[in-house]
Every structure is written in C-alpha cells, then in structure tokens.
Amino acid sequence: MLDDPLSEILAFVGARCEVAGGFTAGGRWGIRFPRPDAIKFGVVVNGACWMRVDGLDTSQQLQAGDVFFVKGDRAFDVLSDLDAAPLDARKVFREAPNNMASLGDGADVLYLGGHVELDETRRNLLLDELPPIIHVASDSEQAAGLQWLAREVVSEVQTKKVGAGLSTASLAQLLFVRVLRAHLEAGGQANVGWLRGLGDPRIALVIALMHSEPSRNWHLDELAKTTGMSRSVLAARFKAVCGVPPLTYLTEWRMRLAVRALEEGTKPVSQIATMLGYTSVSAFSNAFKRVTGIAPKRFQFSSGNVDG
C-alpha cells in the first residue's frame, strides 16, 4: 500500500485548521482582513458577496456554498459591493461577542472564517506551492462534499454542544484537505513543486512510491516502468512539474525527514543515516550538508539535541 504524500506533507508542516468566527451582514457593508500569519479560509454559508485580494487584478464574486483559502502573504476584503468602504477586521472582532460580528443592516449573508496554522520552520514547504487564492465554487463538481462539511461546521459553531471545539477543528482540517484535493482534481493552478506533481496522476504515483519507501535505493528505470514512461520522458516531465529530477526530490525529502529526526533528538546520526537508506554516516552527512548547507552534527548541536 502506497503512502499518501499529501497527508504526510501536511502532517510534516504541522497544518492545523481552526474556525475563528464569522459575521452576519446585510445592506451595504465591507470588512478588510489584514495580511495574516497563516493561511486564511472563508465559507459563505448564506447570501452572496464579493472578495478582493491584494495584488490580484480581478475580484471574485462569492455565492452561498463557496469555500476559499487565501495564502498568508496578502490582505483581502469581503464586501457587499466593490464600492463599499471596508472596516478593519481587527477592530470589528475585538468588539464582537463570541467572535461573531454583525455588519451593515440585516443578516442576508452568513460568513464563517478561520485559519490554517503551520510549523514556523517548515511552513514554506506548503506555502511555496500555493497560488494566492484557491476558490471552490458551490456549483463545481467537487462542491457537494464541501457543502456538507460547511454545514456541519456551521452546526457545531452555532449549537456549541459538548466537544464542539475538537469537532470543529477536525471538520475544518477535513475541509482544507478536500479543498486542496478539489483544486488539484480541477486542474487548478499551483506553483512548480510537489503540489503540482500530485495533480499529475503519473507524477503523483512516482512521488507516492518514493514516500512509501524513502530508504529504498530507487532507480529511474524502476520508477519509469511503474508509470509506463521512458526514463527520459519521466525525468523531463517530473522536472517540468516539480522543479527537480525524481531522485533529487527523493534526496530532499529524505533530508526533511532527517531534519525532523535530528530536531526530535531521540536517534543518533548513525541510526538516522541507516533509517534513510545510507550505507555510511559520511554519505548521509555529505547529502545532508549539500541540501541544508550544514553538517548534521552541527545542526543537531544548534537545535540543542546532541546524541550520545
């Protein structure tokens, strides 16, 4: 059984989703969310509105059932119309009871929002892959399951029954995975890298094979055979999609696993080298220094975890 690289990478970067709150709105209104430290997401439960993201030329109309994620490097507005003057979200939610605000006049729109927190030292592995915004419309082929999840999130937030905190976080986590999956299945934009690779069935198979046994001495011939491609075609296609050749990707993933093991500080360098398929500590150390720019012993010392 092959590993699931998306789940593995999301776990590696510590992706944790939380529903922060939301608002009801009617009439003319607008709210501006400042540049966040984490990926922001929003669900339009009822009504319709507009979203305008800093740095993008076009605004996006949102309908009930739409879900979006905004990369954490830009601010954005949610508005009744594009001429509305937005209020600062920080001020709005400071004064909102239970993080549920009221904007404008009425309650035609119900919006829930939250964020995806990432491990500070590993976050770029995901952030570097994401487009500025991922939007899954309510009328898309992938939307049915997302709408069910959105309704469940709303129910948990509104009823506040026992265990609602854990339930809401779990549903939001699933929502994030489903949105990423829907984005890939729909052929959505992603930067060159592993996420784009997972949207290509043949390249995704190669990535899954290498993730399933990172310590294995994989050969390009073997990987090509599993996909029905020649060595040259696989090498060219993988590099075009992921930015690096297949075996370079494998080495980089091994080194990420090594970094995690060194940070945990429970295994000596020699054991980590063996675990990742290296026949000697020197071979592992050379690969680690080539990828990270620092020797594993020095990295371990700088992180405060020195093996015995």
How confident is the model over 39-74, as pLDDT tens digits?
999 999 999 999 999 999 999 999 998 999 998 889
Q: Are residues 147 and 121 in the same domain?
A: yes
Contacts of 103 (CB under 8 A, 6+ apart): 23, 24, 25, 26, 29, 30, 31, 87, 92
CATH number of the domain residue 47 falls in: 2.60.120
Do residues 10 and 156 share a domain?
A: yes
| Same domain as 120, residue 29 | yes
Strands 67-70 and 76-79: unpaired
What is the band of 156 on the pLDDT scale with cuts at 50, 70, 90? confident
Angle at 147 between CA 141 and CA 149, to 5 degrees: 125
* Cα–Cα distance, 79 to 17 (Å, whole number): 24
CB 83 within 8 A of CB 165: no
pLDDT tens digit sequence for 77-100: 999 999 999 999 999 999 898 889
Which alpha helices (DSSP H) does 216-268 contain, by range? 220-227, 231-242, 246-264
Q: Which of 180, 173, 129, 183 is nearest to 152 (CA)?
A: 173
Q: Which residue among 185, 205, 225 closes a domain?
A: 185
Q: Is the dihedral of CA 66, 124, 172, 174 positive or negative?
A: positive
Instruction: Please state the pTM of the whole predicted model.
Output: 0.85
C-alpha to C-alpha distance for 125 and 118, rounded to whole angstroms: 10
Domain membership of residue 34 as a residue range: 5-185
Write the pLDDT tens digit of every residue in 119-129: 988 999 999 99
Report DSSP state, residue 74.
Answer: S
Q: What is d(CA 134, CA 180) in angstroms, rounded to the nearest whole number? A: 8
Strands 67-70 and 39-46, sheet pairing: antiparallel
| CATH classification of the domain holding 257 | 1.10.10.60
- pLDDT value, residue 1: 43
Beta-bridge partners for 46: 110
5-9, 244-248, 274-278, 298-302: segment of lowest average pLDDT: 298-302
The four Cα atoms 118, 259, 191, 39 give a dihedral, to 10 degrees, of 0
Contact 272, 262 (CB under 8 A): yes
Domains identified in the chain, total number: 2
Give pLDDT, residue 308.
Answer: 42
Q: Is the domain of 108 the same as that of 64?
A: yes
For 238-264, how does the pLDDT look when each residue is reduced to its tens digit (9 = 90+)?
999 999 999 999 999 999 999 999 998
176 and 258, same domain (yes or no): no
Dihedral angle computed from the Cα positions of residues 233, 239, 240 and 241, in that order, rounded to the nearest 10 degrees: 110
Residue 251 vs residues 207, 267, 273: alpha-carbon distances, Å = 12, 20, 12
Q: How far is CA 182 from CA 6, 44, 291, in A?
A: 13, 17, 32
Same domain, 48 and 165: yes
* Res 305: pLDDT: 61
Cα separation, 202 vs 216, in Å, equals 20
Q: Percent of the chain at pLDDT above 70?
A: 97
How does residue 38 score in pLDDT terms, banded at 50, 70 and 90? confident
Same domain, 175 and 293: no
Q: Tell me the C-alpha distance between 147 and 80, whole Å.
A: 22
Q: Which of 120, 152, 185 is the last residue of a domain?
A: 185
For residues 151 and 225, give the distance between their C-alpha atoms in angstroms, rounded to a whole number.
44
Q: 187-233 pLDDT, tens per residue? A: 767 788 999 999 999 999 999 999 999 999 999 999 999 999 999 99
158/230 same-domain check: no
- Bridge-based pairing of strands 100-104 and 16-26 is parallel
Which contiguous run of DSSP H or E holds residue 6? helix 5-12
Same domain for 137 and 25: yes
Are 261 and 179 contained in the same domain?
A: no
Shared-domain flag, residues 78 and 215 = no
- Residue 245 is predicted with a pLDDT of 97
Domain shared by 52 and 158, yes or no: yes
Listed residues 131, 160, 185: the one ending a domain: 185
